[in-house]
A and B are shown apart, each in its own frame.
Chain A
Amino acid sequence: MNFSMDFAALGLYVASFVGYTANLYRDRRWIGRVATLLLILALVAHYDALLERSRIIHAIPYDDLYGSMSLFAWLVGVTYLGLETYHRQRAVGSLVVPFIIFWMIVAISVAPSSVLRAPRANGALFALHITIGILAYAAFAISFLLSLIYLVQNRVLRHGKPGLAFWRFPALDVLERMSRSSVWVGLVALLIGTSLGFVWEHRLTGRFAIADPKVLVTLIVLAVYAAYLMIVRAPAWRGARAALVCVCNFGIVLFSYTIVNLYFTNFHRFF
């Protein structure tokens, strides 16, 4: 398996991270634009790597750990780019892009590159079910990062000595709104993805595998994020409490994505 495009994408992500960090400390618009441009180039290169992988295995790259993790990292980047454009905030890029880099490095390091299995099940519906499911995880990951920044900023505001980064990161209210947008994307994507999964399975087997641990945990994820969106409407829960809920919710997502995938389910191995 040739990883050249993956490494090219990784290099561009690192360059983009340098750009976002420089933008955070220098606060010059052109540096921010260059960072965004580098992120776009990284996403294009990364997409090309995923496409190449798809051509080889004749399916979207979800059926092995590397493909799944790589797709997840790419979708985190795409979702973040959407949020950056919508909320006009670049400061957060200096924390989201390293997350993507970390994820890519882990994927390249731990996933055996030689394992390229033939897909067990084909079809556009199945592909959509998986891709949209991973998009939901990516959006939840971003909301987790934003909530983490919220908690740190809130702590610095109350007790710490505000450094330069404190003045450059978005206001608490903006961070909360960005996190909320991200959760909305994740929740809608997970709802659609899960529904598509049910439809696909029903067509294939004529039944709904409600009892599968992955399905049960996914329903819990849906419930906790729906609860988050409910409580964040109440002023008394807004702020640090809501951010903390969001951080905890992501713990369940991680549990679903790792432990459940690897040990508790038979047909949701790597996604």
Chain B
Amino acid sequence: MPMDSITERNDATARGRVAIALIGCNHRTAPVELRERVAFTPEQAVRAANELCQMGVIEEAVVVSTCNRSELYGVTSESGESAPSAMVSYFTDFHKLSPADLSGRLYRHAGPEAVRHLFRVASGVDSMLLGEAEILGQVRDAYNRALENGSTGPVLNRLFQGALEVGKRARAETEIGARPMSVALAGVKLAERVFGELKGHSALIVGAGAVAEQVVEHLRLRGIGELRVVNRSLARAQELARRMGGEASNWANFEDLLDQPDIIVTSVSGSEHVLTRAIVERAMAARSGRALFVIDLGVPRNVDPEAESLYNVYLFNIDHLGEIVVQNKKAREAELPRVEAIVDEHVTKFLAWQSSLEAAGLLDAFRARLDAERRSLLAAHFANLEGLSESERARFEKLTEDLIDRIVQLPSARVRQARKLRRQLEGLAALRELFGLDDAPNESNGDSDDEVQS
């Protein structure tokens, strides 16, 4: 990132008139086919943020891209639609799409709404799977990449750090992220309720299916020990075992394997029970009654429901797990008001900070304006008073500087200290207009000179 851009960005922030703009699409506005086309790889996200900053309209940029959303966050000192429009054009061009492809698919937010949106995203309430944990890490990664690359500045730094705090608080203070929300994870979490840590335990996967593979993934993440795969086709079992990091076994030996594993996951097609009550009973005898946890993902069921009545056998079929997921979803939804309250709190905090930044910028501009007036006034007076010594001129300089300092000191201190006052000063544009702080300094200087001369 060129140093000039960074300096310009800090100058703009110091002037205090910046707005946050957001454009993007997510699982609610765009189908997966479109989301695939507008996703950014980490390298592309870095490049896009850089290019946005070099366009001249955007001063800070972060690209957040996950499987369910692609969003551009920008900070601009331009008013109106120029920045969001530039971001939309860039987004369209980057992905080689036509405006028609994205028609009605993109959302745009500015100011407080953009802040709220990011905070909701980080807290997980805007996710497809309510309260999912991954999004917080993805937002963190997106921010860290932009930070390392130098495309962020004071505003986006504050915004994303706030978002990460919201995400952490939402998960720590509410139940939005608690309890499993997928059938696969629910099965594994229930197994943990029986065995505690799954390290050192073993699992047998009977058959293959997408959900069974997800279960294996969760088991692997929890450090499951031995993993064995059996399938009617040995070749398929070997292929699955290779992919899952386990060992394949013959279907013919299937019953002999049942005395070893602590967890059995079945996912076989067919109308017959693969595990009948008698088979499970024999297995329990062979394993001296050691607890056995069975996840039956087959439809029709692979395990005889009667096996559940056997001592130390824990059997869960797809309906049991689905029911738990539905209960957990309801429990997470009940937490939404508490998460929204955390989001509200942080949005207010961020907006107050932004107002203080703006107020400080306004006061700096006001001071600069007064200083310019002072200099021109003194220059005119010094020209008429030729008899003044250097020390007398210096005293005049010092006196007028002190006067300006005193004028600005009180409002500066009050704006910094009083949050309420900052909120009252939210409409600072009118004040800028009133004091002509956006006018070129020489316009007023000319007036002053005329006044002095007259």
Q: A: which residues have CB within 8 A of B?
A: 26-28, 153, 157-158, 161-162, 164, 166-167, 170-174, 234-241
Contact = CB atoms under 8 A, between A and B. Distances in A.
A235 B288 contact: yes
B189 A239 contact: no
A167 B188 CA distance: 12
B414 to A, nearest CB: 36
Interface in B177-216: 178-179, 189-190, 192-196
A162 B291 contact: no
A20 B377 CA distance: 71
Contacts of A239: 291, 311-312
Given A161-B327, A239-B311, A171 B192 contact: yes
5 contacts: A158-B308, A162-B327, A171-B193, A171-B195, A173-B196
B217 to A, nearest CB: 21
A158 B293 CA distance: 11
Interface in B84-132: none
Contacts of A174: 196
A161 B190 CA distance: 12
Contact of B178 (A164, A234, A241): A164
B173 A235 contact: no
Given A174-B196, A235-B291, 15 more contacts: A27-B178, A28-B173, A157-B194, A161-B323, A162-B193, A162-B324, A162-B327, A167-B179, A167-B189, A171-B193, A235-B289, A236-B289, A239-B291, A239-B312, A240-B311
For the complex of A and B, the 5 pairs showing the least CB-CB separation, nearest first, are: A236-B289, A171-B196, A235-B290, A235-B288, A173-B196
Contacts of A153: 193
A170 B173 CA distance: 20
A167 B178 contact: yes
What bracket does the count of chain B residues touching chain A fall in?
20 to 34
B371 interface: no
Contacts of B195: 171-173
B32 interface: no
A235 B311 CA distance: 11
Contact of B193 (A28, A161, A166, A237): A166
B287 interface: yes
Contacts of B196: 170-174
Nearest to B315: A158
Contacts of B239: none
Given A161-B327, A167-B179, A238 B289 contact: yes
B55 interface: no
Interface of B: 172-173, 175, 178-179, 189-190, 192-196, 287-291, 308, 311-312, 314, 323-324, 327, 331
A118 to B, nearest CB: 51
A27 B178 CA distance: 10
A13 B192 CA distance: 31
B331 A164 contact: yes
Contacts of B314: 157-158
Among A170, A173, A174, max chain B CB count under 10 A is at A173
A250 to B, nearest CB: 22
Nearest to B327: A161
Contact of A238 (B172, B175, B291, B324): B291
Contacts of B324: 162
A153 B314 CA distance: 13
A235 B284 CA distance: 10
A142 to B, nearest CB: 19
A235 B172 contact: no
Contacts of A240: 311
Given A162-B324, A164-B178, A171-B195, A235 B287 contact: yes
Among A157, A161, A167, A235, max chain B CB count under 10 A is at A167
Nearest to B193: A171
A34 to B, nearest CB: 15
A173 B200 CA distance: 14
Contacts of A171: 192-196
A28 B177 CA distance: 13
Contacts of A241: 311
A53 B291 CA distance: 49
Contacts of A161: 323, 327
B439 to A, nearest CB: 54
Contacts of A27: 178
Nearest to B171: A27
B194 A234 contact: no
A174 B198 CA distance: 12
Nearest to B179: A167
A223 B318 CA distance: 45
A230 to B, nearest CB: 15
Contact of B289 (A157, A166, A234): A234
Nearest to A159: B308
B323 to A, nearest CB: 8
